[in-house]
Structure 1
């Protein structure tokens, strides 16, 4: 569910016409709905009601400080994967005891930053990382709370580039070696074992892979407790998908996911952490763009927009689908025709959709890419020296720019010309 609906023939974000925002900030721009973000967080929180739990937003999906503050004020923790994300989380007021640090390539500097600034746990992904973290923590006179990310060798059945739980993936340690590595961790003076971590991928549309992975985690928990380890926390990662096309079959809802967690892990008396990103923010955002040209080719029609692959990378990177809708509601029975929706960047890959059936559109018309609130703005770049697009947050009838579009001068002034040139 989202809060982007037609009212009186015009697409609104909650109570704000998106065309009004376009007139104020220009296009393209991202717009997020406070009501949708709030609702989706509460769906996950309520799904685990009765279990000791923490919902940690995977901020790699959407890292704007205003959005993080909104979710943090609701009680969310965050899952970070870099020192920059950690700094953003703290700037948003998220306390260290609600920040989980994931990622396969944590640096010594990032470890120090989190240990001195406050951290709930590190999700350790390799033996070399474990040894470096012990060295850093010991040097600071601290103990680093850790879970070990285990790889259960489960194929999530999702896109190859967002699968993370197979034995050929770079993430985690083989579950077959977990007991040995936990024994090593327990012997290190700067390490405190607190639990187990698992994450098998993103955009999962069925519960089967989760259930298979969590069954293995339940067995590992019992085995590690038998080895004398205190396993009090299970970090289950994220990955529950969203429907990117309105006619797609809906993935499982958080309540069904929560019931599965109870069924597979509820008997272990562990605190449960989950790290949803896409399902909280995906349908909470749209990218609004303006039609520049309608170009008639020999075999196809091109709809050329002012948004490009540098603004929304998912279609070029993953072949991802986003519903594209006009901001002015088409008349009932309006004829649709196939068009290729493309951007202005000088790459053939700058294509959002091929042969997409859309109603008639003309230069100057506005369109919205739905479900663009996850992995949209965070993956954007300034390729072709195109400024990063602004982000706007809406609540009821209010809207506010939460990241401004930089000017050309601001972009250029970041470059430094050496004195010897």
Structure 2
């Protein structure tokens, strides 16, 4: 690796603490910080490793407009899971969009079909995971190309809630795909591809083994179908090391293993990473409100919580936490629980963390917050969502998403 090559992972310790303190002071907290320069580096890493494959960005990982524009400019296409994501992708300038419809509501299909009719210049493919979705598209006179989402019976991921490849919710059962493929063609549609996805946060050897098995099964299916395909998309889910002691993925080895598992194909092999593109490009900044010693631990109350960053409460996910106090290195360490302001026991961002003795008004940074951070934020407990600031990679900073206010929360309720 040369000094010009993008590093495989950006750790929380690699962020400039003085810059983060300044951002917290200028924009207040809770605050998401997204570094577009790092997004570009991650895209470059993927393009280097998967040099012969079609690489799309799984938009659901982070739909902030500034980030979508960065990804599009860097050369990736868009993989979307909802009509709203399709619209965001189009608005951000993507010209190739794949919509993988998961039990799509009627309103989603109405919107996507209308968008396809209004923008014939956009290469839009709808990927269906049920026969009923095909029927619904026929009813709407959709005339574009179709792909099939396959349930290959192989799943992997960092948590059971994000393991999709063997979950019955997702995709057409493997052995029923040939019949659906025939029906699609008989109804006059252009069948252009197959799609499958093992799960999210694939990192360990067991996960990678499941990914290889999925790819191998999908390669066999693509070769056995009596239809020519343009692409075989074997999903994303490439994991990043959330724990500081974890090693990053050997992306070149994963790419080579994916190619080997797929075997010889007439269709183009494709992947759709989301987390890998944006996770380490984002941090969450939060301010200490209270410090409460208890017999069990020191409870550090901060102004970010499960409504700001849901992953710890929903998935028991680990995010590294760092004190940005300018004298942090001179303080004694304590064992702490970092907890938010939400009235729920689950509202904990980190347990049993060794941190410099915290004080009120200290600012903490929470790492790997660029994926499924702001994207999963909510207004539970009537808490406005945080602001997002964007670093453009040259030192310039701008607001990408304004901070919500209490008035924003009640704006749609009308006059009482």
Is this a same-fold pair by TM over 0.5?
Answer: yes
Query: How many equivalent residue pairs?
Result: 398
In structure 1, the residue matched to 2:90 is 90
In structure 2, the residue matched to 1:101 is 99
2:307 and 2:62 mapped to 1: Cα distance? 16
Deviation, 1:400, is 0.7
1:5 and 1:400 mapped to 2: Cα distance? 23
In structure 2, the residue matched to 1:208 is 209
Please list the CA deviations of residues 251-279 of structure 1 after superposition, one character each: whole Å capped at 9, or x if unmatched.
x3322221112212352132222110001
Is the 8 Å Cα contact of residues 234 and 271 (structure 2) preserved in structure 1? yes
Alignment of 1:236-315 (within 5 A): 236-250=234-248, 252-265=249-262, 267-315=264-312
Deviation, 1:111, is 3.5
Deviation, 1:334, is 5.4
1:412 and 1:149 mapped to 2: Cα distance? 39
Give secondary structure in 2 for the equivalent of 1:267: coil
Please list the CA deviations of residues 337-386 of structure 1 after superposition, one character each: whole Å capped at 9, or x if unmatched.
21111011111111112222212110010001100100000100111221
1:183 and 1:329 mapped to 2: Cα distance? 65
- From 399, 402, 405, the equivalent of 1:401 is 399
In structure 2, the residue matched to 1:188 is 187
Deviation, 1:110, is 3.2
Deviation, 1:30, is 0.3
Is the 8 Å Cα contact of residues 163 and 169 (structure 1) preserved in structure 2? no
Is the 8 Å Cα contact of residues 308 and 345 (structure 1) preserved in structure 2? yes
Is the 8 Å Cα contact of residues 238 and 273 (structure 2) preserved in structure 1? yes
In structure 1, the residue matched to 2:23 is 21
Deviation, 1:184, is 1.2
Q: Does 1:2 align with 2:10?
A: yes
Is the 8 Å Cα contact of residues 3 and 33 (structure 1) preserved in structure 2? no
Give secondary structure in 2 for the equivalent of 1:349: coil
1:331 and 1:84 mapped to 2: Cα distance? 43
Give secondary structure in 1 for the equivalent of 2:17: strand
Alignment of 1:49-88 (within 5 A): 49=51, 51=52, 53-88=53-88
Greater shift in the superposed pair: 277-286 or 354-363: 354-363
Deviation, 1:146, is 1.5
Is the 8 Å Cα contact of residues 216 and 263 (structure 2) preserved in structure 1? no
In structure 1, the residue matched to 2:221 is 220
Q: Does 1:169 align with 2:168?
A: yes
Deviation, 1:6, is 5.8
Give secondary structure in 1 for the equivalent of 2:381: helix
Greater shift in the superposed pair: 121-130 or 103-112: 103-112
Deviation, 1:119, is 4.0
In structure 2, the residue matched to 1:111 is 112
- The list of structure 1 runs, each at least 4 consecutive aligned residues, that deviate by more than 6 angstroms after superposition, is none
1:210 and 1:245 mapped to 2: Cα distance? 22
Structure 2, unmatched stretches of 5+, are 1-8
Give secondary structure in 2 for the equivalent of 1:120: strand
Is the 8 Å Cα contact of residues 229 and 266 (structure 2) preserved in structure 1? no
Please list the CA deviations of residues 33-70 of structure 1 after superposition, one character each: whole Å capped at 9, or x if unmatched.
12210011111111121x2x332111111001111011
Please list the CA deviations of residues 194-234 of structure 1 after superposition, one character each: whole Å capped at 9, or x if unmatched.
1111111001113211110111111111110xx2x112211
1:5 and 1:323 mapped to 2: Cα distance? 10
1:157 and 1:72 mapped to 2: Cα distance? 26
Is the 8 Å Cα contact of residues 69 and 92 (structure 2) preserved in structure 1? yes
Alignment of 1:331-410 (within 5 A): 335-394=332-391, 395-410=393-408
Is the 8 Å Cα contact of residues 340 and 349 (structure 2) preserved in structure 1? yes
2:102 and 2:411 mapped to 1: Cα distance? 33
- From 6, 12, 17, the equivalent of 1:11 is 17
Greater shift in the superposed pair: 70-79 or 407-416: 407-416
Is the 8 Å Cα contact of residues 338 and 350 (structure 2) preserved in structure 1? yes
In structure 2, the residue matched to 1:123 is 127
In structure 1, the residue matched to 2:4 is none
Q: Structure 1-normalised TM-score?
A: 0.90
Q: Structure 2-normalised TM-score?
A: 0.91
Deviation, 1:115, is 2.3
Please list the CA deviations of residues 79-124 of structure 1 after superposition, one character each: whole Å capped at 9, or x if unmatched.
11112111111111112xx111013122331331342233431111
1:270–1:333 Cα change, 3 Å? farther
